[in-house]
Structure 1
Amino acid sequence: MKRSASSYIKLSLASALVLVSCCLCSWRLMKIQVVESETYSQTKTSTQTYSQTIQATRGEIVDSSGKPIIENKVGYSLIIEPDTFPEDNTEGNQVLLSLTKILDENQVTYTTSLPISETQPYAFTEDEDAVAKLKKTLNMNVYATAENCMDQIQKEYEIDDSYTPEQQRLLAGIRYEMQLRGFSLSNRFTLAEDVPLDTVTEIKERGVTLPGVDIVEEAIRSVAQGDVVPHEIGTVGPIYAEEYEELKSKGYDLDDVVGKSGIEKAMEDTLCGSDGIKEIKVENGQVVSSEITTPMEAGSTVQLTVNSDFQRELQGILSDFIKNFDSLRDEKTKDLKTVQCGAIVVLDAKNGGVLGMVTNPTYDLSDYKTNYEEILNEENKPLFNRATYGLYRPGSTFKTITAVAGLNEGIVNGGTTYYCGHVYHFKDHNYNCTGSHGDISITRALQVSCNIYFYKLSEELTIDRISDYATRFGLGQKTGLETGDAAGHLSNQETFKELGADWTVGQVLQSAIGQGEWAVTPLQMANVACTIANDGTRYVPHLVDSIWDYNHNTCLEKVQPEVAEQITPLNDSVFQLVENGMIAASRNNFPSKYSLSDFGFDVAIKTGTPQNSSRVQDSFFIGYAPANDPEIAFAGVIEGGEYSKYMIRSIIQAYQKTVKNENVTVDTIAATTTTTDSAQNSTQTTTTVTTAN
């Protein structure tokens, strides 16, 4: 077939077009493979870098001999991951119910802090701070009831009537805790710690039905000795949302734990350590490198001044005295009510370190998480530390301060006497004494606790100088203890005005013998005794002895004693005369089983029986031993009781046994009938009087 010229032209053009296209494709392919190969290689590879926080191990807390009080152990924690936990409330609620069912069946504890009763009708718990936080978190007004708060939580998380009342309360508690801890895409939620391995296995096996639930292995805070100064050790807890703004600038993450109270809080910067950072490089979904760019630094170990064995002995002494107080009853004490509460503080007289500090009733820190509500609502409030926050009138123990003031101001000396005829007439009122002592000097006045001597001395001192010396001895102010304590208040015109009471001249007399409106703690009064023992040097009481590396191998810092006040004596006899009176008081016809006269050294003490409107009276003592070279200073109080001084012998023996490792038996109050000669003891305790205003 003969082709036309136009056909050849078209064929030629088509061939040329194909040839040009092939050349262009070849050129483009060469450019991609050779010229731009590196660029395209980089484009093809997807690279991401992640930073992972390595949580620092918290430092431990040990006693004066290095025995752990709070330690760490490796355990499993149950967490809820925000990125995989159901956003739908109904689905999320079902996961929580399924999860808590497993925990309950395996008796694994988990804590929530919703301050509302477990059953209907709903009511707030006694924790007022927690209730205030609840209302603030839920944006409720101050008048909102427990029912109002529950309704708000149930509405927000769709916890409707399809759930049983028990399930509603359970879900509300967990949901509120998640809200408090800032559960969000950037912060996971820890529901339970130290989960047993069999429970971990069960949860992992059911992982498909529990979206968002995971198990992580981490260091768990563990209580080794929960009965050793539990009020002072304190607790750790999660960082709540309102705390995070302040803490994030210090490097904390929302899922960290932080000290909430006690030493855990006071020494937070020392205990917390420094988190590490691990950088993980991922290319096309595969981890290609993992490198720790910032090493984790474990927290330091805090060593306390407290001896744990001595602490237990002290707790036993106090508990036994209270439990067996009825065996001490006599005509003088037969009408007193049941004794239940008290406190003892023992300081190292050389530097103010706390060797032991007990309160009754008390609790075990191991039970705090699991039985918090029960402990909180227990009779006589075991969570209240009477040693540092209990406020009492000091009674005649205060006469030691009045005596120092009179001697140091040159108003009296060792030979100065006042006449005591049992009744003292002042400004149209009569004031009684414990006896009729005749002409009496200051040392004898301290021994027999003569009210009239100190009434007369107070007239010359005036309330201003009495208040001044009380302040110099540390009353009316916080002691400076790391974990905090109550300041109390003085008994003077300013205090009476604040209390809305009338000040009369007769109150000067009452204040001089420890009545009036004094409010002191046992810790403050132990420090008064310590100050007398040191001839006017008042130390700041402290609980921390030293800071060590995490493994407790190297001491990083030794805490040095801090002098809070120096009362410079007018002459050498000022504190010696007061000590002589206190030594004499230790020999005041004690029953032989409680005697302080057979130690081989002198003991200096002063007792008091201050009036208390709600309990009729308390029983107070202060002192130190050995008197010639003091090693310990102490104070104790029994609420609504008498004869607290009978514990002093046991306190000294316990110190000898546990701190000095001497072969000594500790004698305590036994549950046997003891006959006490009230006439013999009349000079040991103060019969306080009521003044007319």
Structure 2
Amino acid sequence: MKTLSDHIKVIVTVIFVLVMGILGAMRLMKIQVVSDSNTETVSPAGERNLITYTQSSKATRGDIVDCFGKPIIQNTIVYNIVLEKAFFPDENQEGNQILLDIYNLLKNNSYEMKLSLPVSSSVPYRFTGKEEDSLNLKEKINLNSYATAENCIDKFISDYEISDKYTQKEKWIISAMRYELSVKDFALNNDFILAENVSEDIIIEAKAKSITLKGIDIRESSERKVIQGNVLPHEIGTVGPIYAEEYEELSKKGYAMNDVVGKSGIESVMEEILRGQNGVEEITVSNNAVVNSKIITPVQNGQTVKLTVDSKYQQKLQNILDDFLNSYGGYNGYSSDCGALVVLDAKTGAVRGMATAPTYDLNDYINDYNSVLNADNTPLINRATDGLYRPGSTFKTITATGGLNEGIIDGDTYFYCGHTMTYYDMPFNCTGYHDYISVSRAITVSCNIFFYEVAKRLTIDGIVKYEELYGLGQNTGIETGDSAGYIASPENYNELGLTMYAGDVIQTGIGQGEMGITPLQLACVANTIANEGVRYKPYLVEGIYDSDTGECVKKTEPVINATIPLNYDYVYDYIEEGMIGASLNMPYEHNLSDFGFDVAIKTGTPQTRNLQSQNSVFIGYAPADNPVLAFAGIIEDGEYSKYMIRDIIKAYDECYGISKSKTK
């Protein structure tokens, strides 16, 4: 048997459906204003007769989806309460009452309006917020800069004829509402959004009171909804309101003051694709009724942006990084809490995954920004694209490239490693005793002495040449931007207030020079080795798709940033041989030898600049004979980061698949 509450729920639902039906009909006549164009005709008696103006129906913003079409960011239908100038009373006292009634309606339904009037709501009045806010207020209402907060409230009371019948608090509310209309440029060509994403209760009550609340309307809109907030939050970015200082420029592009705009990440750099184009309609109103309407420009909804990343793989990659930090973060006295992983498609440069720790959920960023801002270890920093680190022994692959390509060494060149060498009366050490050793073996066992010898002969000019050929000290070109970092060179040493000595040159040869490299740049180094000197530009956007038909509008084509001109065919053969050898020395649970293909890696443990700690770094690609993925990773203040490589490759195979056929 149905209870009384069940019957009430049914009645409320029926009322809501009826209201939505009425709204649907009304939306044929009432659409949001964005254009400047309006005209008014006046009868001989001086009374308003006809008002003609243009309005726009807002385009729906395009979705952001992963490479398999799973939504990361999409839109949801919401209802906003708006105030339309064409139907709002010109007479101040009537308008004041309507504004107060609207405020109370919303507050009684637990919706608190955001009012920006920088004056306290209780007496004695005082300015709140920044000094700039109070100065802007005084300028807006034509008061001198020395005017007091009480002067400002008195000015509102005078200008808008706010009656003494209102309490002090009600006078403040009306003043604040009037100020809000002013700063948001409330006009025939710009409706004012009173409340966004309101409840059914507010909608029903607002429609019931719409006769007395002149100018109020309920408008269907779309709201940005974060579906997978833990997928690339730094790269996805956010949207937000248009600020006053932005409006002048954005208005030239057809934006209204109440529009939203991409503020960061993909939301910002793909703004023109995602926003679409508002439709324009000409409306004629007479005596508070629409008498004619004509569509001038139809709505063009925003297009869908498809990323190169599988959201499932991205989550797996983030878990791999987080699990490693939890398991090995405190190993051997280290305190590892931070790190980053980057995985690229070796054949195109497309980003397949990019994890950073600590990270955050985009929903938390939007709903509780301060908690993210104040969290330990600055999760707002995307260490994958903006963290700057010494590359350590991973840099030996670059030194090897220069030595081999310039003819300084070849596969039969051997240098003696007796653990220590003296250079300019300074001792330089290796981690082992390697006797006479070749370049491939030196990469495998990470012999410092061998690469000291190569760096001496290559000179700093040669090292800088190959740093630049590998793209270090440069932005990679990824759509959302990254840090260029800096290379080890005499010029950069000077900028750091340092002098580059001969010892610094050979230290640079093993990745211990003063340089700052991002994990993304290291992944590009790995990918350049995998492609034998061809350096692809990394990218995140797979393509643009029509939001209605799903058809591809534009597909991103791989771009080659640079190619290292090879003087000898064998350059990368010897480097790869050494990197494959480095992958064989792994503990059983992390071994890289049972995939059915070889894996090429190089690890490093660079000291930090203050020499008080070390980081753990790796680069690599797989399969070695037919590269499908290239990768890099770093753990701050830790070691054994290479233990993540097996899981990175295994997860990649599960999500994207790895062909084991030999084509290289």
Partner of 1:608: 604
Within the candidate set 40, 55, 75, 1:72 is matched to: 75
Cα distance, 1:573–1:661 mapped onto 2, change above 3 Å:
closer
Within the candidate set 429, 449, 453, 1:452 is matched to: 449
* Greater Cα shift, 497-506 or 197-206: 197-206
* Counterpart residue type for residue 515 of structure 2: W
Deviation at 1:572, TM superposition (A): 1.8
Deviation at 1:434, TM superposition (A): 1.0
Partner of 1:676: none
* Greater Cα shift, 76-85 or 256-265: 76-85
Cα deviation digits, residues 52-78 of structure 1 (max 9, x gap): 111111111111011111111211234
Q: Is the 8 A contact 2:117 2:180 kept in 1?
A: no
Cα deviation digits, residues 327-386 of structure 1 (max 9, x gap): x83xxx2x222x211111100001000011111111111222211111111111112111
Deviation at 1:537, TM superposition (A): 0.6
Partner of 1:379: 376
Q: Is the 8 A contact 1:111 1:370 kept in 2?
A: no
Cα distance, 1:403–1:100 mapped onto 2, change above 3 Å:
farther
Q: Is the 8 A contact 1:301 1:552 kept in 2?
A: no
Partner of 1:243: 246
Within the candidate set 221, 228, 233, 2:231 is matched to: 228
Distance 1:250 1:302 in 2: 21
Distance 1:438 1:625 in 2: 30
Partner of 2:588: 592
Distance 1:611 1:459 in 2: 21
Q: Is the 8 A contact 2:113 2:194 kept in 1?
A: no
Within the candidate set 530, 544, 553, 1:547 is matched to: 544
Distance 2:552 2:315 in 1: 26
Cα deviation digits, residues 447-492 of structure 1 (max 9, x gap): 0111111111111111111111111111101100100000000111
* Counterpart residue type for residue 424 of structure 1: M
Deviation at 1:440, TM superposition (A): 0.6
Deviation at 1:48, TM superposition (A): 3.6
1:198 maps to 2:201:
yes
Structure 1, gaps ≥5 residues long: 1-39, 115-123, 125-130, 141-150, 160-166, 663-693
Cα distance, 1:499–1:157 mapped onto 2, change above 3 Å:
farther
Cα distance, 1:372–1:429 mapped onto 2, change above 3 Å:
same
Distance 1:389 1:457 in 2: 30
Q: Which runs of structure 2 are paired with 1:46-195 in the superposition (5 Å)?
A: 46-79=49-82, 98=104, 101-102=107-108, 105=110, 182-185=184-187, 187-190=190-193, 193-195=196-198
Distance 1:262 1:200 in 2: 34
Q: Is the 8 A contact 1:531 1:537 kept in 2?
A: yes
Within the candidate set 626, 640, 643, 2:623 is matched to: 626
Distance 2:626 2:506 in 1: 33
Cα distance, 1:606–1:51 mapped onto 2, change above 3 Å:
same
Partner of 1:273: 276
What is the count of residue pairs matched by the alignment? 579
1:533 maps to 2:530:
yes
Cα deviation digits, residues 31-59 of structure 1 (max 9, x gap): xxxxxxxxx99x99944422111111111
Partner of 1:20: none
Within the candidate set 318, 321, 325, 2:321 is matched to: 318
Deviation at 1:258, TM superposition (A): 1.1
Deviation at 1:281, TM superposition (A): 2.8
Distance 1:436 1:349 in 2: 35
Distance 1:70 1:95 in 2: 36
Distance 1:459 1:301 in 2: 53
Partner of 1:336: 334
Partner of 2:490: 493
* Counterpart residue type for residue 336 of structure 1: Y
Q: Is the 8 A contact 1:621 1:644 kept in 2?
A: yes
Cα distance, 1:379–1:355 mapped onto 2, change above 3 Å:
same
1:350 maps to 2:347:
yes
* Counterpart residue type for residue 571 of structure 1: Y
Deviation at 1:648, TM superposition (A): 0.4
Identity among equivalent pairs (%): 49
Deviation at 1:284, TM superposition (A): 6.0
Cα distance, 1:575–1:379 mapped onto 2, change above 3 Å:
same
1:306 maps to 2:309:
yes
TM-score scaled to structure 2, two decimals?
A: 0.79
Cα distance, 1:579–1:421 mapped onto 2, change above 3 Å:
same
Cα distance, 1:100–1:48 mapped onto 2, change above 3 Å:
closer
Distance 2:153 2:572 in 1: 68
Q: Is the 8 A contact 1:301 1:551 kept in 2?
A: no
Distance 1:474 1:462 in 2: 19
Cα distance, 1:499–1:198 mapped onto 2, change above 3 Å:
same
CA RMSD of superposed structures (Å): 3.8
Q: Which runs of structure 2 are paired with 1:6-17 in the superposition (5 Å)?
A: none
Q: Is the 8 A contact 1:546 1:556 kept in 2?
A: yes
Cα distance, 1:187–1:49 mapped onto 2, change above 3 Å:
closer
* Counterpart residue type for residue 71 of structure 1: Q
Cα deviation digits, residues 253-300 of structure 1 (max 9, x gap): 222111111011111111111111111234565433222111111111
* Greater Cα shift, 250-259 or 75-84: 75-84
1:427 maps to 2:424:
yes
* Counterpart residue type for residue 316 of structure 1: N
Cα distance, 1:155–1:466 mapped onto 2, change above 3 Å:
farther
Deviation at 1:513, TM superposition (A): 0.9
Per the alignment, in what secondary structure is the counterpart of residue 340 of structure 2? strand
Q: Is the 8 A contact 1:85 1:92 kept in 2?
A: no
Distance 2:424 2:551 in 1: 66
Deviation at 1:84, TM superposition (A): 6.8
Q: Is the 8 A contact 2:422 2:428 kept in 1?
A: yes
Distance 1:71 1:422 in 2: 59
Per the alignment, in what secondary structure is the counterpart of residue 617 of structure 1? coil
1:557 maps to 2:554:
yes
Cα distance, 1:457–1:298 mapped onto 2, change above 3 Å:
same
Distance 1:605 1:201 in 2: 64
Distance 1:189 1:535 in 2: 59
* Counterpart residue type for residue 542 of structure 2: D
Partner of 2:162: none
Cα distance, 1:44–1:208 mapped onto 2, change above 3 Å:
closer
* Greater Cα shift, 71-80 or 218-227: 71-80
1:405 maps to 2:402:
yes
Larger Rg: 1
Q: Is the 8 A contact 2:106 2:113 kept in 1?
A: no
Q: Is the 8 A contact 1:86 1:92 kept in 2?
A: no
Q: Is the 8 A contact 2:616 2:639 kept in 1?
A: yes
Deviation at 1:92, TM superposition (A): 11
Post-superposition, which runs of at least 4 consecutive aligned residues in structure 1 deviate over 3 A? 43-48, 78-103, 108-114, 134-140, 151-159, 174-193, 198-215, 282-286
Deviation at 1:630, TM superposition (A): 0.4
Distance 1:511 1:113 in 2: 58
TM-score scaled to structure 1, two decimals?
A: 0.76
